[in-house]
Chains A and B, each alone.
Chain A
Amino acid sequence: MLAYTIRRVAQSALVLLIVGLVAFSMFRFVGDPIENMLGQERTIEDIERLRDQLGLNQSFAVQYFKFLEGAAQGNFGVSYRQGRPVAEILMERAPATLELAAVSAVFAIVLGIAFGVLTAIRRDGFVANFIMSASLIGVSLPTFLIGILLIYIFSVELGWLPSFGRGETVQIGNWSTGFLTSSGLQALILPSITLGLYQMTLIMRLVRSEMLEVLRQDYIRFARARGLKSRAINFRHALKNTMVPVITVIGLQLGAIIAFAIITETVFQWPGVGLLFINAIQFVDIPVMAAYLMLISVMFVAINLIVDMLYFFIDPRLRVDRAGGH
């Protein structure tokens, strides 16, 4: 397993390098940051001096290498717009996004698996059919529309929940959390549902189809023939086997939740890294964009790494491969 882990970490590092390269090469087409940074009263000399100062007239390879060198030391440069270190800005914004993503992920995974199992076991029941039909909404409506719809119903018409922002937050060290105040928790509800709904329906449909497949297997039939209780058959025998393929997809979807937070954060004016990224694009704030993309890809890669490790705990057949048994 150690060899496998090392191999996977090395692969992950390579993926990150490539993501950085692609991202960096695209920044050359988003516009000239100098335009935004200097006012109307600029001179050619001012422009040249600033360009030189930011290192923008160096070759692409040199710029990329310098970025990597800084990134390895945790230094992502200084934001063009705010004039502060990018790492500091990201640290400030990251808790908002991570908390939102975490709540959405829990919502998506817990309800997704629960509904998936329910619709698989009671395949022809009224509730199962209702959930399956309703889930089409989650799959087919775009995220921003769901967000706007929720705001319209729960904020505008009913006035129950806030439509934007994080509410009150409490600062714990470097981490600002919305979990500890009631307004913070209320503010989390709508954005989390918006962000997690698609993933929830996806996980649910996947769990359902995998579970129906597993329930047809011989070992489930044999478990029935041994007179086991249906709860033991459904949860101990069937669900565990269902989870093997489902976990891969859940891992990918967790990464997607963090990445797609951009849209939800824009709709709900959520002060996270996604919103920061959108603003950075408008201002051609290259250091912020580069750091954001690296951050997202690190999370993506890390989550997938953890998911691959999870297999070892669920599936004993892989553990044998580790020992070189087969």
Chain B
Amino acid sequence: MSDTVLSIRNLSVEIPTRTGVVKPVDGVSYDISAGEILGVVGESGAGKSMAGNAVIGLLNPPAHIAKGEIWLNGSRIDALKGEAMRRLRGKEIGMVFQDPLTSLNPLLSIGDQLTETMLTHLPISRAEANNRAVAALEEVGIPGAAERIDSYPHEFSGGMRQRVVIALALCAEPSLIIADEPTTALDVSVQAQIIALLKRLCRDRGTAVMLITHDMGVIAEAADRVAVMYAGRLAELGRVRDVLTQPQHPYTAGLMASTPLASAGKTRLHQIEGAMPRLDKVPDGCPFHPRCTYAESKCRAAPAPQISQDHAACWFPLMAEKVS
């Protein structure tokens, strides 16, 4: 881990409700290095997006960071407020949202939205910003970028719009990109292109990427390392190849077994019994124990070990031979 860009330590996000405090993110730690893509997977409500929002400082009140630290390029940013945080957004941390159809302002041309972002963060002239906007569009593969700079979002297809969104997220050259389900709203045929684009751009620039998704296929395709989240907690962290082929946490193993494969001949998919607990009813001990086939009394009694290194948060991590 030479140049760590983002470092999250023991991060907890809390939302006070009438019935008590819920913790959508609970004691999560991970690092992302320059040029590395960390895939964050989990079911809906596992807290993966919430952690991303916490990093970029866009948690919707009353959600707030209750505990833990977030470090970006060596400075602590979790306590930054208002104007200081705004300067980081776009400049140091870029974000790509799920739905490209609603991410762009329909009344402003894409050129306007690009130059506006650059002029906010970079000390350049308007003419220079225009040139860079065209270059940015060319880089993300918009054909005829110079002519299309004055086009409005509705004149592009969904995949093209996501390319524009990526250009917008990258135009001020941030060191970290948070991509929150960037391909979920796209056609399957376009998904691979967008992932490849994101991968190429970030490799070239050495940008760190937090790739939030529920799609194991996307993770396998793009990520270097993967963080599996369950009920707000980190279940497993590790290199993609290790986690996908030899999952140590029973939940990861269940997820892998329930991912459809084109090559497999099986007609029925495995499914994990039960459902992820509601955030206000997370059980004591390991949050996964009610659904875990390997659970023992220790799992019910003591919370699973917290991890920050490549490891599984499990008392009885699966060994290679236990995986069927």
* Among A218, A227, A317, contact of B88 (Cβ-Cβ < 8 Å): A227
A218 and B95 contacting across the interface, CB-CB below 8 Å = no
User: How far does the alpha carbon of A74 sit from the alpha carbon of B109 in the complex, in Å?
Assistant: 46
* Among A236, A237, A240, A317, contact of B152 (Cβ-Cβ < 8 Å): A317
Given A227-B87, A227-B120, answer yes or no on A219-B152 (Cβ-Cβ < 8 Å): no
A316 and B91 contacting across the interface, CB-CB below 8 Å = no
* Among B56, B86, B155, B165, contact of A229 (Cβ-Cβ < 8 Å): B86
Q: Given the complex, which residues of A lie within 8 Å of B56, measured CB to CB? A: 225
Given A224-B89, A225-B58, A228-B90, answer yes or no on A314-B120 (Cβ-Cβ < 8 Å): no
* Among B89, B99, B107, B168, contact of A240 (Cβ-Cβ < 8 Å): B107
User: How far does the alpha carbon of A244 sit from the alpha carbon of B106 in the complex, in Å?
Assistant: 11
B102 CB-CB contact with A under 8 Å: yes
User: How far does the alpha carbon of A244 sit from the alpha carbon of B56 in the complex, in Å?
Assistant: 31
Given A316-B154, A317-B154, answer yes or no on A241-B97 (Cβ-Cβ < 8 Å): no
B90 and A320 contacting across the interface, CB-CB below 8 Å = no
B121 CB-CB contact with A under 8 Å: yes
Q: Which residue of A lies closest to B86 (CB)?
A: A227
**How many contacting A-B pairs (Cβ < 8 A)?**
82
Q: Given the complex, which residues of B lie within 8 Å of A320, measured CB to CB? A: 152, 154-155
User: Number of B residues whose C-beta is below 8 Å from A?
Assistant: 31
Q: Which of A217, A222, A229 gathers most chain B CB within 10 Å?
A: A222
B307 CB-CB contact with A under 8 Å: no
B89 and A225 contacting across the interface, CB-CB below 8 Å = yes
Q: Given the complex, which residues of B lie within 8 Å of A226, measured CB to CB? A: 89-90, 94-95, 117, 120, 168-169, 172
B103 CB-CB contact with A under 8 Å: yes
Min CB distance A205 to B, Å, is 23
* Among A219, A225, A229, contact of B105 (Cβ-Cβ < 8 Å): A219
User: How far does the alpha carbon of A224 sit from the alpha carbon of B168 in the complex, in Å?
Assistant: 12
* Among B91, B94, B107, B165, contact of A241 (Cβ-Cβ < 8 Å): B107
User: How far does the alpha carbon of A227 sit from the alpha carbon of B58 in the complex, in Å?
Assistant: 11
A232 CB-CB contact with B under 8 Å: yes
B43 CB-CB contact with A under 8 Å: no
Given A218-B97, A222-B95, A320-B154, answer yes or no on A227-B105 (Cβ-Cβ < 8 Å): no
Q: Given the complex, which residues of A lie within 8 Å of B99, measured CB to CB? A: 218
B313 CB-CB contact with A under 8 Å: no
B14 CB-CB contact with A under 8 Å: no
A241 and B106 contacting across the interface, CB-CB below 8 Å = yes
Q: Given the complex, which residues of B lie within 8 Å of A213, measured CB to CB? A: none
Min CB distance B110 to A, Å, is 11
Q: Given the complex, which residues of A lie within 8 Å of B172, measured CB to CB? A: 226-227
| B binding-site residues for A, Cβ under 8 Å | 56, 58, 86-91, 94-95, 97, 99, 102-109, 116-117, 120-121, 152, 154-155, 165, 168-169, 172
